[in-house]
């Protein structure tokens, strides 16, 4: 789960990271009021969307007067901002962050991420901040410094000092940097984060360190024990399909294809998507209904898949262990009755109560397409798609 910049800064500030003073604004009037609260001096107005690259897309501006703040806020609010990370659809700007301007002498990149290879938290830093990490890795790979944190010891002082020296920091900046590192690590660890990024971590003209931008992402599976984090969720910034699935407790990721998938188990879901592509099709989603899925949950899964207007056929692939094929079959039939399905549906069942499940499908009287194997189901789903109309 992602959060907004101003929310990430508020969290990091609680852990001890220095951040500029600022205010959230939901209207041009509130933005102008924030400018006055900041002393009526230069300020930076930033669009708050879950995406990087806002500055290059026109979503960030240094404003010198209240009139300039009000005008820029009126231009941004309600606008769909398209960045290189949002895709062509962009994201709607519904709030702004107005913060005091900072005298920048140098910019540093600092990120904490989960390194799955080492199964450790990794620090990635560079003395050249202000760029996306992908650009840094491509354009200046030698500037990247990586350091792995041992979970048994945590971030230790010598690592913080070593990283500061490798970034060229001196004097009091070393202690300030160490404080910022420890704060970021505690925030990452204590809140079940997946990523903490400060870019840039600026060195001011006075030689102090301050976080000018911040991003945080959190482990969705841990939100049940972090209600204070879940409260920061902004559904308006999420894919509406994924937002609907989240609200119904389903594991769902929207894709670009047209074959909707309802699967149990993440591994089987990945294998099903691979098989669909091998058969010449494109999956519309990843959806894991989980173990012990009731007929009602299967209906919910159908409703979720159908929120994607691109879906032209649905593939149900169940290998029942904890699940039961007869439950799934009843759910498929129930979905036809409740949702009013008109799309082709391919059903492949295997495992617990498979014969009972297949019998329910066979005697339903519905135009369901049965398959015995995954490969057969994938081919059937590809064949069931509407035939493209040839160009005249």
- Domain final residue, candidates 78, 101, 124: 101
Residues 251 and 375 in one domain: yes
pLDDT band of 389, cuts 50, 70, 90: very low
Q: What is the DSSP string of 38-61?
A: TTSS-EEEEE--S-S-TTTTT-EE
Tell which residue, 114, 97, 100, has the closest CA to residue 21: 100
Q: Look at residue 3 and tell me if it is in a domain.
A: no
Q: Look at residue 135 and tell me if it is in a domain.
A: yes
Cis peptide, bond prior to residue 200, ω within 30 of zero:
yes
**pTM of the entire predicted model:** 0.79
Catalytic residue among 5, 109, 242, 252: 109
Kindly tell me if the per-residue pLDDT of 7 is higher than 80.
yes
Q: How far apart are CA 392 and CA 384, in angstroms?
A: 23
Residue 225 counted as an annotated binding residue: no
User: In a 3-state reduction of DSSP, which class is residue 113?
Assistant: strand
Residue 53 counted as an annotated binding residue: yes
Cβ 108 vs Cβ 125: under 8 Å: yes
The answer to whether 197 is a known catalytic residue is: yes
pLDDT band of 142, cuts 50, 70, 90: confident
Sign of the CA dihedral running 41, 46, 52, 58: negative
Question: Which DSSP helix (H) or strand (E) runs through 285?
Answer: strand 285-288
Sign of the CA dihedral running 51, 52, 58, 63: positive
Q: Once rounded to an integer, what is the mean pLDDT over residues 160-176?
A: 94
Residues 246 and 341 in one domain: yes
- Give the pLDDT of residue 124: 94
Kindly tell me if the per-residue pLDDT of 391 is higher than 50.
no
- Give the pLDDT of residue 42: 93
Q: Which two tokens stand for residue 369?
A: 């397409």
Residues 260 and 163 in one domain: no
- Give the pLDDT of residue 230: 93
Task: Indicate the burial class of 373 (C-beta count within 10 angstroms; 0-12, 13-18, 19 or more).
Answer: exposed
Residues 139 and 43 in one domain: no
Q: Look at residue 308 and tell me if it is in a domain.
A: yes
pLDDT band of 307, cuts 50, 70, 90: confident
Residue 40 counted as an annotated binding residue: no
User: Chain-wide mean pLDDT for the chain?
Assistant: 91
Catalytic residue among 5, 185, 188, 197: 197
Residue 170 counted as an annotated binding residue: no
Q: Look at residue 243 and tell me if it is in a domain.
A: yes
Q: How far apart are CA 289 and CA 241, in angstroms?
A: 15
Residues 81 and 186 in one domain: no
Q: Look at residue 290 and tell me if it is in a domain.
A: yes
Residue 264 counted as an annotated binding residue: yes
- Give the pLDDT of residue 292: 65
- Give the pLDDT of residue 387: 62
Residue 117 counted as an annotated binding residue: no
Q: How far apart are CA 340 and CA 314, in angstroms?
A: 14
Q: Once rounded to an integer, what is the mean pLDDT over residues 340-360?
A: 90
Residues 215 and 283 in one domain: no
- Which residue has better confidence, 137 or 4? 4
- Give the pLDDT of residue 95: 97
Query: What CATH number is given to the structural domain containing 362?
Result: 3.40.50.261
Q: Once rounded to an integer, what is the mean pLDDT over residues 68-74?
A: 97
pLDDT band of 136, cuts 50, 70, 90: confident
Range of the domain at 80: 20-101
Q: How far apart are CA 81 and CA 57, in angstroms?
A: 7
Sign of the CA dihedral running 229, 233, 237, 241: positive
Among 53-57, 197-201, 305-309, top mean pLDDT goes to: 197-201
pLDDT band of 6, cuts 50, 70, 90: very high
**Domain count within the chain:** 3
Q: Which two tokens stand for residue 92?
A: 């709607």
Tracing tokens 């299967």 back to the chain, one arrives at 298
Query: What CATH number is given to the structural domain containing 28?
Result: 3.30.1490.20
- Give the pLDDT of residue 246: 76
């Amino acid at each position: 789960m992602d959060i907004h910049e101003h929310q990430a800064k508020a969290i990091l500030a609680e852990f001890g990271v220095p951040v500029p003073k600022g205010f959230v604004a939901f209207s041009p009037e509130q933005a102008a009021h924030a400018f006055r609260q900041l002393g009526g001096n230069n300020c930076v107005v930033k669009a708050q969307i879950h995406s990087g690259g806002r500055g290059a897309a026109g979503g960030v501006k240094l404003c010198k007067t209240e009139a300039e703040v009000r005008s820029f806020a009126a231009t941004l609010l309600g606008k769909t901002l398209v960045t290189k990370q949002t895709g062509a659809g962009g994201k709607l700007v519904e709030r702004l962050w107005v913060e005091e301007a900072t005298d920048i002498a140098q910019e540093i990149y600092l990120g904490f991420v989960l390194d799955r290879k080492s199964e450790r938290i990794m620090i990635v830093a560079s003395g050249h901040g202000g760029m996306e990490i992908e650009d840094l890795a491509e354009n200046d790979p030698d500037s990247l410094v990586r350091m792995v944190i041992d979970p048994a010891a945590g971030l230790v002082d010598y690592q913080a000092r070593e990283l500061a020296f490798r970034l060229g920091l001196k004097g009091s900046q070393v202690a300030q940097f160490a404080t910022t590192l420890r704060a970021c690590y505690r925030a990452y660890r204590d809140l079940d984060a997946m990523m903490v990024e400060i870019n840039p971590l600026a060195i001011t003209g006075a030689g102090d360190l301050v976080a000018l931008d911040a991003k945080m992402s959190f482990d969705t599976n841990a939100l049940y024990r972090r209600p204070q984090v879940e409260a920061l969720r902004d559904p308006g910034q999420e894919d509406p399909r994924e937002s609907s699935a989240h609200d119904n407790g389903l594991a769902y990721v929207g894709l670009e294809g047209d074959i909707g998938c309802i699967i149990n188990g993440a591994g089987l879901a990945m294998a099903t998507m691979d098989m669909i592509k091998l058969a010449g099709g494109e999956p519309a989603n990843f959806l894991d209904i989980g173990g012990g899925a009731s007929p009602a949950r299967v209906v919910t899964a159908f409703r979720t898949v159908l929120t994607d207007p691109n879906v032209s056929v649905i593939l149900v692939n169940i290998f029942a262990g904890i699940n039961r094929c007869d439950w799934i079959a009843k759910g498929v039939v129930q979905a036809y009755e409740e949702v009013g399905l008109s799309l082709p549906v391919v059903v492949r069942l295997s495992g617990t109560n498979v014969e009972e499940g297949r019998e329910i499908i066979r005697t339903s009287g519905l135009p369901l397409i049965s398959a015995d194997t995954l490969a057969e189901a994938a081919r059937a789903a590809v064949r069931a798609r509407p035939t493209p109309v040839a160009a005249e």
